Amino acid sequence: MALLTTVAAHAPDTDVGLYRTVRLIRRFEERAVELVRSGDIIGGIHPYTGQEAIAAGVCAALRLDDMITSTHRGHGHVLAKGADPARVLAELAGRATGLNKGRGGSMHAADFALGILGANAIVGANGAITAGAAWAARQSGGDQVAVSFFGDGAVNQGVLLEAMNLASLWRLPVLFVCENNGYATTLTVSDAVAGTITGRGEAFGMPSATVDGMDPRTVLAAAREAVDRARAGGGPSLVECLTYRFDAHHTWEHKARVRYRDDAEVLSGRERDPVEIQGVRLAGGERARVDAEVESMMDTAVAFALDSPHPDPVGALDHLYATGMRARPGGGG
């Protein structure tokens, strides 16, 4: 049971709902970065800051029983699909109360009850999984749609291109969402991508569009069109969302100071902020009310995560096999 009121309960496709989601993701990421710095989150995170409009807009076009797969930069997608922020944060902090009982961490958050089939740490790996889940739902007589989120780095992965071919060939209800933030870790799109990203979708006969990924309304409109088409049997689509990553590829950069974007570019990239773009659409009092609600929710989430127990090392390999089979112990024994 969700401890905190989740996104899905708040009409996420309204202007207030979209703002609430982008604001929640923003504050979640900022608080998570603080917990990385304090050592409460080990391993660091890939902050989604700046890209919030994409998760908010796409997930607002989905039903509760629709499915998503996500990436190493996945907190935003998971929150926007309705996961409990407290349990997501507890997962990042490796606690037993986390979504995955502390077994997955930042890059593998999953909540199957909400159609969140897992964030995936291998770039481009989730597209084919998404296609299979969409096929299974259709075979069961359902009309669910499955969304595969990935970054611009994934468009050069063979398995993703194979997955696009399968999805289009079999007219599967899939939405491929490319979050083009300009960089695959440090490599620019112009140094990595021959042709275009939408050209890859078009090559497989998929409707493919490039949209402003900084505006939640724009993303919602594009996603809604593609989701409606998929649900009606019209097959998959590709939506390329142009965006900018405000923070590091990974919090590791905060210490390592890798130089691949100059200050002027980062400043310029942050000028169009999805939280502001959506925020100005709300009346002043409404915005302040949502901000206060999000702040309170994050305070509760942080307290919940830090107060939660660590998992018992005795069960380190619990769930290794779904059948409960136990592996031989390591160590000396």
Partner 1 sequence: MPWLSYQKALNRALGDELARDPAVFVLGEDVRVAVSNVTAGLLKRFGPDRVLDTPLSEQAFTSFATGAALGGRRPVIEFQIPALLYLAFEQIVNQAHKFSLMTGGQTRVPVTYLVPGSGSKTGWAGQHSDHPYALFAHAGVKTVVPATPEDAYGLLTTAIRDDDPVVVFAPAAALGVRVDVDFDALAPVPLGVGRVHRAGEDVTVVAVGHLVHDALAVAEELAGDVSVEVFDPRTVYPFDWDGLAASVARTGRLVVVDDSNRMCGIAAEVVATAAERCDLTAPPVRVTRPDGAVVPFALGLDLAVQPDRAQLTAAIQKVLKQ
**82 contacts partner 1 (rule: CB under 8 A):** no
Least separation in angstroms between CB 316 and partner 1: 9
Amino acid letter for position 187: L
Do residues 67 and 130 make contact, with C-beta atoms less than 8 angstroms apart? yes
Q: Which stretch binds partner 1 (CB under 8 A): 53-61, 117-125, 214-222, 270-278?
A: 117-125
Closer residue to partner 1 (CB): 50 or 105: 105
Min CB(160)–partner 1 separation in Å:
8
By CB under 8 A, tell whether 101 contacts partner 1. Answer: yes
Residue type, 26: R
- Which one among 8, 16, 22, 128 touches partner 1, defined by CB under 8 A? 128
Query: Measured between alpha carbons, how far is 282 from 216 in angstroms, rounded to an integer?
Result: 13
The reply on whether position 127 binds partner 1 by CB under 8 A is: yes
Asked if 122 touches partner 1 (CB under 8 A), the answer is yes
Q: Which of 58, 93, 129, 223 binds partner 1 (CB under 8 A)?
A: 129
Tell me which stretch binds partner 1 (CB under 8 A): 49-57, 101-109, 229-237, 252-260.
Answer: 101-109
- Judged by CB under 8 A, does residue 118 bind partner 1? yes
206 binds partner 1 (CB under 8 A): no
DSSP-based three-state secondary structure for 15: helix
Give CA angle at 108 (71, 44), nearest 5°: 85
Q: Which amino acid is at 84?
A: D
DSSP letters, 61-123, are: TS-TT-EEEE-TT-HHHHHHTT--HHHHHHHHTT-TTSTTTTSS-GGG--BGGGTEEEE-SST
Is 278 a binding residue for partner 1 by CB under 8 A? The answer is no
Binding letters toward partner 1, positions 146-185, x by CB under 8 A: x-----------xx--xx-xx--x----------------
Least separation in angstroms between CB 104 and partner 1: 5
Q: Is 125 in the site for partner 1 (CB under 8 A)?
A: yes
One of 12, 57, 94, 104 touching partner 1 (CB under 8 A): 104
> Is the CB of 137 or the CB of 220 nearer to partner 1?
137
Phi-psi region of 102 (alpha: psi -120 to 50; beta: other; left: phi over 0): left
Nearer to partner 1, 260 or 321 (CB): 321
Q: What does 147-211 look like in DSSP terms, one character per residue?
A: EEEEEGGGGG-HHHHHHHHHHHHTT--EEEEEEE-SEETTEEHHHH-SS-HHHHHHHTT--EEEE
Segment near partner 1 (CB under 8 A); pick from 53-61, 125-133, 175-183, 300-308 = 125-133
Residues 6 or more apart in contact with residue 171 via CB below 8 angstroms = 233, 234, 235, 236
Q: 139 or 190: whose CB is closer to partner 1? A: 139
Question: Are the C-beta atoms of residues 278 and 8 closer than 8 Å to each other?
Answer: no
CA atoms within 13 A on the CB side of 97: 18
Identify any residues that bridge with 146 across adjacent strands, giving them in sequence order.
67, 174
For the four alpha carbons of 262, 267, 273 and 277, in that order, the dihedral sign comes to negative
Q: Which stretch binds partner 1 (CB under 8 A): 28-36, 130-138, 224-232, 297-305?
A: 130-138
Minimum CB distance to partner 1 smaller for 60 or for 177: 177
What are the residues binding partner 1 (CB under 8 A)?
A: 98-104, 108, 110-112, 117-118, 120, 122, 125, 127-137, 139-140, 146, 158-159, 162-163, 165-166, 169, 317-323, 325, 327-328
